[in-house]
A = this chain, B = another copy of it.
Amino acid sequence: MNSERYRARGVSPQKEDVHAALRDADRGLFPQAFCKLMPDVLGRDAGQVLAMHADGAGTKAALAYVAWREWGDAAVFRGIAQDALVMNIDDLLCVGATGPFLLSNTIGRNARLVPGEVLGALLAGYDDACAAYAGWGLAVHATGGETADVGDLVRTLIVDATVTTRLPRDAVVSNADVKPGDVIIGLASDGQAAWEREPNSGIGSNGLTSARHDLLHADYARRYPESCEPELPAHLRYCGPYHLHDPLPGSTLSVGRALLSPTRSYAPLLKPLLDGRRGLISALVHCTGGGQTKCRHAGRGVHYVKDSPFPPPALFHAIREVTGTPWAELYQVFNMGHRMEVIGDAALLPALEELGREHHIAVRQVGHCEANTDPARNRVTITAPDGELVTYE
Residues on A lying within 8 angstroms of B by beta carbon are 7-12, 15-18, 20-22, 25-26, 28, 36, 38, 41-43, 45, 50-56, 58-59, 61-62, 100, 102-106, 108, 110-113, 115-116, 119-120, 123, 139, 141-158, 160, 162, 164-166, 209, 212, 226-231
Q: Is the CB of A227 within 8 A of B152?
A: yes
In the complex, chain B residues whose CB is within 8 Å of the CB of A104: 52-54, 162
Q: Is the CB of B102 within 8 A of A41?
A: yes
Q: Shortest CB–CB separation between residue A137 and chain B, in angstroms? A: 15
Q: Is the CB of B110 within 8 A of A10?
A: yes
In the complex, chain B residues whose CB is within 8 Å of the CB of A42: 42-43, 50, 100, 102, 164-166
- The answer to whether A115 and B151 touch (CB under 8 A), given A104-B162, A146-B160, A162-B162, is no
Q: Is the CB of A151 within 8 A of B52?
A: no
Q: Return 25 A-B CB contacts under 8 Å, by A number.
A: A10-B150, A12-B149, A28-B144, A36-B143, A38-B102, A42-B43, A42-B165, A50-B102, A52-B164, A53-B144, A54-B146, A54-B162, A55-B146, A56-B106, A56-B108, A58-B150, A59-B150, A61-B153, A62-B153, A106-B160, A108-B160, A151-B209, A152-B212, A154-B158, A226-B231
Q: Shortest CB–CB separation between residue A363 and chain B, in angstroms? A: 29
Q: How far is the CA of A105 from the CA of B56 in the complex (A)?
A: 12
Q: Shortest CB–CB separation between residue A118 and chain B, in angstroms? A: 9
In the complex, chain B residues whose CB is within 8 Å of the CB of A156: 153
Q: Shortest CB–CB separation between residue A171 and chain B, in angstroms? A: 14
In the complex, chain B residues whose CB is within 8 Å of the CB of A9: 112, 151-152
Q: Shortest CB–CB separation between residue A19 and chain B, in angstroms? A: 9
In the complex, chain B residues whose CB is within 8 Å of the CB of A158: 108, 150, 153-154, 158
In the complex, chain B residues whose CB is within 8 Å of the CB of A226: 231
- The answer to whether A155 and B152 touch (CB under 8 A), given A11-B111, A106-B162, is yes
- The answer to whether A112 and B10 touch (CB under 8 A), given A41-B100, A153-B59, A165-B42, is yes
Summarize A's interface: helix, strand, loop or mixed.
Answer: mixed
Q: Is the CB of A41 within 8 A of B119?
A: no
Q: How far is the CA of A139 from the CA of B154 in the complex (A)?
A: 32
Q: Shortest CB–CB separation between residue A13 and chain B, in angstroms? A: 9
What are the 7 A-B residue pairs with the smallest beta carbon separation, nearest first?
Answer: A10-B151, A17-B116, A52-B143, A43-B43, A21-B119, A162-B162, A54-B146
Which of A16, A26, A51, A155 gathers the greatest number of chain B CB atoms within 10 Å?
Answer: A155
Q: Shortest CB–CB separation between residue A64 and chain B, in angstroms? A: 11
Q: Nearest residue in B to A116 (C-beta to C-beta)?
A: B17
Q: How far is the CA of A38 from the CA of B155 in the complex (A)?
A: 34
Q: How far is the CA of A144 from the CA of B38 in the complex (A)?
A: 10
Q: Shortest CB–CB separation between residue A3 and chain B, in angstroms? A: 11
Q: Is the CB of A123 within 8 A of B58?
A: no
Q: Shortest CB–CB separation between residue A241 and chain B, in angstroms? A: 20
Q: How far is the CA of A16 from the CA of B149 in the complex (A)?
A: 12
Q: Shortest CB–CB separation between residue A311 and chain B, in angstroms? A: 29
Q: Shortest CB–CB separation between residue A334 and chain B, in angstroms? A: 16
Q: Is the CB of B148 within 8 A of A229?
A: no
Q: Nearest residue in B to A229 (C-beta to C-beta)?
A: B151
In the complex, chain B residues whose CB is within 8 Å of the CB of A209: 149-152
Q: Shortest CB–CB separation between residue A10 and chain B, in angstroms? A: 2
In the complex, chain B residues whose CB is within 8 Å of the CB of A102: 38, 41-42, 50, 52, 164
In the complex, chain B residues whose CB is within 8 Å of the CB of A53: 104, 143-144
In the complex, chain B residues whose CB is within 8 Å of the CB of A59: 150, 152-153
